[in-house]
Amino acid sequence: MHGSIHLALKQYVVEVYGASTWEQILAQSNATIKMYLATSSYPDGEITALITAASALANRPANDMIEDFGRYLMPKLIQNYRSLVRPEWRTLDFLENAEQSIHSVVRVQNPGARPPILRCVRHGASELQIIYSSARRLCALVRGMALGAAQHFAEVVMVDERQCMLHGAESCDFRMRVVA
């Protein structure tokens, strides 16, 4: 996982739960690294260990915390990659084009980065299907990021996960529909 995600997780924890909670997470997790760099990549087990410790400390289910983190993360990513975001794009346009515009740039600029591959199918102006498949199985992050994108673009989006890797499917199938 790219170090920028680890740093964003730290920011999220500090803003929502306080700086001392981040220190507790580092102390109580099985993470082997205690300081993350935005320009480095780390084993996936690091983020899993951090999230597991964070959810235990916050007494929240891990997937709820991951989704909340995705909502927090997406507006920051949109800001960081604003030069790749067309001004006319709205939520579904942004999500539909994230693979070609942002993920491809991330892979070139950071050879160790492995963002998931998202397959998108547009079903009209107000509906998008995203097929997510990753060994990380962070489908809750996808849901949160979609909701965070909608928040950024001042839209309301309904997210329906029709199949999920956490329930035995080979991939997650999300349908996103703009309702306002």
Q: What is the CATH number of the domain that holds 127?
A: 3.90.1520.10
Give residue 38's pLDDT.
83
Same domain? 169 vs 120: yes
Number of compact structural domains in the chain? 2
Give residue 124's pLDDT.
94
Same domain? 49 vs 88: no
In whole angstroms, how large is the CA radius of gyration of the chain?
Answer: 16
**Does residue 96 have a pLDDT over 70?**
yes
Percent of the chain whose predicted confidence (pLDDT) is above 70: 92
81 band by pLDDT with thresholds 50, 70 and 90:
confident
Same domain? 89 vs 157: yes
pTM for this one?
Answer: 0.88
Same domain? 13 vs 89: no
Give residue 111's pLDDT.
65
127 band by pLDDT with thresholds 50, 70 and 90:
very high
Residue pLDDT, tens place only, 99-117: 776 655 665 666 666 677 7
Stretch 113-129: mean pLDDT: 87
Same domain? 113 vs 174: yes
Contact 165, 63 (CB under 8 A): no
By residue range, what is the domain housing residue 17? 3-60
Of 60, 79, 95, which one is at a domain's C-terminal end? Answer: 60
Same domain? 87 vs 105: yes
Give how far the C-alpha of residue 111 lies from the chain's centroid of Cα atoms, to the nearest Å.
19
Give residue 109's pLDDT.
64
82 band by pLDDT with thresholds 50, 70 and 90:
confident
- Give the closest residue to 145 by CA, choosing from 88, 180, 103, 111: 103
What amino acid occupies position 166? L
